[in-house]
Structure 1
Amino acid sequence: MYRMNYDLALITGATSGLGKALCHALAQKNISLIAVGRDIQKLQLLAKEIQTPIRIVQVDLSQTNQRASLGTLIQELCPDLVINNAGFGLYGSVVEQPLKLSQEMLQVNIQAVMECSMEAASALKKAKKPGLILNISSAAAFFSYPNFSVYAASKAFVYHFSEALDIELSAYHIRVLTVCPGQIATDFRKKASRNFPQKPDHLILSCKKVVCLILKQIRQGKRVQIIDLRYRLMIFLSHFIPKRFLLPFLQRSLSKRYKKS
């Protein structure tokens, strides 16, 4: 079993959805927070809601210079719990997506996760402190996903990078855990579909359930967690389906999540 008595936790994407819920959950455990997000008004509102000490940091993780500033802050404050939660996706064919948005997605989903993980690991090693880094991947990481290709590929990077890093850093008593949730009841789907109407989906997970499972994963030190059983089963079964059938099926299933008007 691993500890939950961390001194200072840094959470990216802290202003909404899973990140905000994690901030509240960790605050209830009396862990001081560094909340990172783009929207200063939402950060200020979060600070008013949180009862434990909290430092808000406005950062656009798609911008190289702002990520560098966050890296400097991580080196200075040396949080012993870092949760790389920020990320976004886009539904649809790449020819329908602005190239700039896809480039920003890679900066947030890959570059920011890599840089924050490496800065945190470096700071903890220098301070000779044990610590834990938790990176949010996705169940989509296990698939080549037509009409969700850039996002799925970015989350595959997070999965493989984090799993390898956990082994690399074990000698320094630094853990790197990966969580791979399916769809969560947040604004992610609305943003990914660029505000097209969304269709009901029985596979959507409650944010509360995902937070509880993440906290359990941290306590247990489980390297990789796929949330939940339904998604684990889907990933397992996919290994037995030829890709010429699987990939078109994934494309059709994704198109059912939203409907263009």
Structure 2
Amino acid sequence: MPDLRHHRALVTGASSGIGREMARQLAAWGCDLTITARRRERLDELAAELTAAHGVEVRATACDLASPDGPRALYDDVMAAGEDVDVLINNAGFGHYQAFEHEPWEQLAATLQLNVTSLVELTHRFLPHLRAGGRRAYVLNVASIAAFQPVPYFACYAAAKSYVRDFSEALAHELAGTGVSVTCLCPGGTYTEFMDHSGQTLGRVAKASMRDAQSVARQALLATLRGRRTVVTGWMNVLSCFLTRFVPRRAAAWSSVAVLGKPAPARPELARAAIDVAASDPGPDGREPGPGSDHAETE
């Protein structure tokens, strides 16, 4: 069992799903935590639970990373608290399974802000501190198996996750030998709240590859501590991502729809709920993915 005493992890999207399970696993390994999401009540409950169960220091701070001001506000909050973060987990994210033209621009903008811009900004702001700590440090970015192919009706979400994967792998190369490792988690379907808000109805194949958030979180964290650059969870997902490289891109897009099915009719109120959940938690990201939330991955 890893010994993470005297380490501190910052976990975004920690109020549910994969992010919450990562916080629980890290606490069990003795790691102090700063946990963030929009839903303060849930964060406070989780902080109390982990402190009582494992005796670690857990500080909860509410932050909306779907807002352009969110990353700077979170960074300033951590600096003001004098916390020495050496494990950065960019887990918050979300997506909505719907035709691009039917999605409100506000939701698309929030998707890109949360899944891409906030993740990159937090990494950029914290990286000098990770390098200056004088010991091994870790960055874990949550993408998705959607990063491996175009996914119709998840056009922005899948493209954002592709960005996260490429960014993470490139940064891992840049930081080789510095003592800071970068890992990209690419979960497939994961049982989290994202499924309630994404507007997705899973087909038989997609349901067969679903995993629980606890096992995804543990696998991701162990891979991070070992310095792996990319980790795909679940053997069916590993096989799918491997085979995708041999399939024409147009066929890969078609297969995504064949597995995930067509989206439900557009419902503005569902889109609004997705934005609200996201910024609070996902997700999807695996788990995998809800706005600002912990990933409840939707592939």
Assess same fold via TM > 0.5.
Answer: yes
- Partner amino acid, structure 2, of 1:16: S
- Distance in 2, matches of 1:169 and 1:77, equals 23
1:186 aligns with 2:192: yes
Deviation at 1:199, TM superposition (A): 5.8
- Distance in 1, matches of 2:182 and 2:251, equals 35
Deviation at 1:139, TM superposition (A): 0.5
Deviations 1:77-131 (A, max 9, x none): 2300111110001101111111100100111100111011112211123444431
- Distance in 1, matches of 2:163 and 2:201, equals 30
For the structure 1 residues 9 and 259, does the alpha-carbon distance in structure 2 shift closer, same or farther, using more than 3 Å as the test? same
- Structure 2 match to 1:137: 143
- Distance in 2, matches of 1:20 and 1:6, equals 20
- Structure 1 match to 2:260: 254
- Partner amino acid, structure 1, of 2:61: V
For the structure 1 residues 148 and 197, does the alpha-carbon distance in structure 2 shift closer, same or farther, using more than 3 Å as the test? closer
SS in 1 for 2:64: coil
* 8 A contact 2:3–2:30 mirrored in 1: no
What does residue range 221-240 of structure 1 map to in structure 2 within 5 Å? 221-240=227-246
* 8 A contact 1:199–1:259 mirrored in 2: no
Which ranges in structure 1 are unaligned for 5 or more consecutive residues? none
For the structure 1 residues 155 and 30, does the alpha-carbon distance in structure 2 shift closer, same or farther, using more than 3 Å as the test? same
Deviation at 1:24, TM superposition (A): 0.9
* Higher RCO (C-alpha under 8 Å, 6+ residues apart): 2
Task: Provide the TM-score with structure 1 as the length reference.
Answer: 0.91
Deviations 1:136-177 (A, max 9, x none): 111000011111110000011110111111122234311111
* 8 A contact 2:203–2:259 mirrored in 1: no
- Structure 2 match to 1:160: 166
SS in 1 for 2:208: coil
- Distance in 2, matches of 1:127 and 1:213, equals 25
- Distance in 1, matches of 2:245 and 2:126, equals 35
SS in 2 for 1:209: helix
Share of identical aligned residues, percent?
A: 28
- Structure 2 match to 1:209: 215
Q: How many aligned positions are there?
A: 257
For the structure 1 residues 97 and 211, does the alpha-carbon distance in structure 2 shift closer, same or farther, using more than 3 Å as the test? same
- Partner amino acid, structure 2, of 1:57: T
- Partner amino acid, structure 1, of 2:195: R
Q: 4+ runs of 1 displaced by more than 4 Å?
A: 2-6, 196-200, 258-261
* 8 A contact 1:6–1:80 mirrored in 2: no
- Structure 1 match to 2:251: 245
SS in 2 for 1:64: coil
Which ranges in structure 2 are unaligned for 5 or more consecutive residues? 268-299
* 8 A contact 1:139–1:180 mirrored in 2: yes
- Distance in 2, matches of 1:16 and 1:207, equals 9
Task: Provide the TM-score with structure 2 as the length reference.
Answer: 0.80
* 8 A contact 1:74–1:120 mirrored in 2: no
- Partner amino acid, structure 1, of 2:73: S
Deviates more, 1:169-178 or 1:15-24: 169-178
